[in-house]
Structure 1
Amino acid sequence: MNPPKHKEIRAVFNEKTVRVYQAYNDGIANSALEHGTFKSPPFKMERMTWIKPSFLWMMYRSGWGKKDNGQNRILAIDISREGFEWALEHSLLSHQAKDYADREEWLKIKKATPVRIQWDPERDLHLQPLEHRAIQIGLTNEAVPLYVNEWIQSITDVTNLASEIHSLVEKNLVDEAGLLLPKESIYSTTPVLGKKIELTESS
Structure 2
Amino acid sequence: MKEFEIRADYTRDTIVVYQAYNKAIAQSAVENQKFSAPFSFGRMTWIKPSFLWMMERSNYGQKSNQECTLAIHIKREAWEKALEMAVLTSPEKRVYPDPKTWEEAFENAKIYVQWDPERNIKGNKLEYRSIQIGISRYLIEEFNEDWIVKIEDYSPLVKKILNLTKQGEYDKAKKLLPVEKIYPLSNESTRRVGSN
Q: TM-score, normalised by structure 2?
A: 0.92
**1:193 Cα deviation (Å)?**
1.6
Tell me, in whole angstroms, the C-alpha distance in 2 between the residues paired with 1:44 and 1:97: 30
* Contact residue 87 and residue 143 of structure 1 kept, 8 A: no
1:95 is the counterpart of 2:90: yes
Tell me, in whole angstroms, the C-alpha distance in 1 between the residues paired with 2:92 and 2:41: 25
**1:146 Cα deviation (Å)?**
1.4
- CA 1:141/1:97 → structure 2, altered by over 3 Å: closer, same or farther? farther
Counterpart selection for 2:14 from 2, 8, 17: 17
Amino acid at match of 1:35: N
Give matches, 1:53-68, under 5 Å: 53-68=49-64
RMSD in angstroms over aligned alpha carbons? 1.9
Residue number in structure 1 paired with 2:167: 171
Q: TM-score, normalised by structure 1?
A: 0.89
Residue number in structure 2 paired with 1:86: 81
Q: Is the partner of 1:188 in helix, strand or coil?
A: coil
Any runs of at least 4 consecutive aligned residues in structure 1 with deviations exceeding 4 A, and if so which?
97-103
1:27 is the counterpart of 2:17: no
Tell me, in whole angstroms, the C-alpha distance in 2 between the residues paired with 1:198 and 1:140: 19
Question: Which stretches in structure 1 are left out of the alignment for 5+ residues?
Answer: none
Amino acid at match of 1:83: A
* Contact residue 68 and residue 153 of structure 2 kept, 8 A: yes
- CA 1:101/1:197 → structure 2, altered by over 3 Å: closer, same or farther? closer
* Contact residue 91 and residue 114 of structure 1 kept, 8 A: yes
**1:110 Cα deviation (Å)?**
2.3
Question: Which stretches in structure 2 are left out of the alignment for 5+ residues?
Answer: none
Number of paired residues?
193
Q: Percent identical across equivalent pairs?
A: 41
Tell me, in whole angstroms, the C-alpha distance in 2 between the residues paired with 1:50 and 1:91: 13
